Amino acid sequence: MSTASIPDDGVRRVDGELRAALAAGERPARPSPLSAALTFGWRGMLKIKHVPEQLIDVTLTPVLFVLMFTYMFGGAISGSTDEYLQFLLPGIVVMSVLFTTVYSGVTLNTDVTKGVVDRFRSLPIARPAPLVGAVLGDSVRYVIGACVVLGVGLAIGYRPEGGALGVVGAIALVVVFSCGLAWLMTSVALVLRSPSATMNAGFMALFPLTFLSNIFVPPETLPGWLEAWVDVNPVSLLATASRGLMAGTADWGDVGWVLLAAAALTAVFAPLTTWLYRRKT
């Protein structure tokens, strides 16, 4: 044979082990949809371990904002840096977690472009499991992002009047809303062609939403048309609700609206993502 001159060292040895390994691949019972989704969640954890840059990227910017805005504008906006920090910090927690949702889309788009999705789709598992699992895994990412920003805030003097319970409630609310938003990001990810396009689209949408909100300044000082927008911006609603929870002065109506928005995002975009994923060519 023409290939006889090519050295094939080790192949025979590998061959014996290979045959043994092939013979040992008996098929177990299928996992439940929940178990499959949790396995994908575990994959998300591994990604935090192996690609911490993604989390650091989206956490570092909000941390810088906390420091810069507090010390630069705190006095001008609220009269003192301490007082401004009380106002600013819950909003930055929101911003940090919302930024992280962009990576939920980027990760899915990367899976598509690298062909990993092909393998998952050829497995006999519940169709939405990879997507639900990814959102579950990402929620851990959201909690980490929120805690980092909160930690920096506490270190420089933020004192949540609502206590530990208020803080946990606020973070939970932000994470629940972000899981809803993540479904929007994953839908977008399945329509766009590349991870970088997905990232650009995500941040292009989030920048106006987070900056033109009440995260940085109370809207009363804004021109009328901008104030009107800030008031209806769902990010303002989320910031107000989590500010309330952390300060122990929560308006339960606000919290309810946020939960409703999260439910609406999930109800529309979770099925859309699943449908797009199934139809992905």
Q: Is 116 in the site for another protein (CB under 8 A)?
A: yes
Among 76, 155, 225, 281, interactor with another protein by CB under 8 A: 281
DSSP 36-83: HHHHHHHHHHHHHHH-HHHHHHHHHHHHHHHHHHHHHHHHHHHSSHHH
124 binds another protein per the rule CB under 8 A: yes
Q: Which of 76, 122, 221, 225 binds another protein (CB under 8 A)?
A: 122
* CB nearer to another protein: pick between 39 and 61: 39
Q: Rounded to whole angstroms, what are the CA distances from 206 to 74, 106, 145, 203, 235?
A: 24, 14, 16, 5, 9
CA distances from 63 to 66, 70, 143 (A): 5, 11, 15
Rounded (10°) CA dihedral 153, 143, 262, 186: 120
Query: Smallest gap, in angstroms, from Cβ of residue 274 to another protein?
Result: 15
| Assigned token pair, 130 | 């990879």
Q: Does 29 bind another protein (CB under 8 A)?
A: yes
Q: Interface residues for another protein in 36-75 (CB under 8 A)?
A: 36, 39-40, 42-43, 46-47, 50-51
How many angstroms separate the CA atoms of 133 and 127, rounded? Answer: 11
Nearer Cβ to another protein, position 29 or 155?
A: 29
Q: Is 19 in the site for another protein (CB under 8 A)?
A: yes
Q: How many residues bind another protein (CB under 8 A)?
A: 49
Q: Which of 126, 108, 125 is nearest to 44 (CA)?
A: 108
30 binds another protein per the rule CB under 8 A: yes
Instruction: Assess 22 for contact with another protein (CB under 8 A).
Output: yes
Residue 3 in contact with another protein, rule: CB under 8 A: yes
Chain positions contacting another protein, by CB under 8 A = 1-3, 6-8, 10-11, 14-15, 17-31, 35-36, 39-40, 42-43, 46-47, 50-51, 111, 114-125, 281
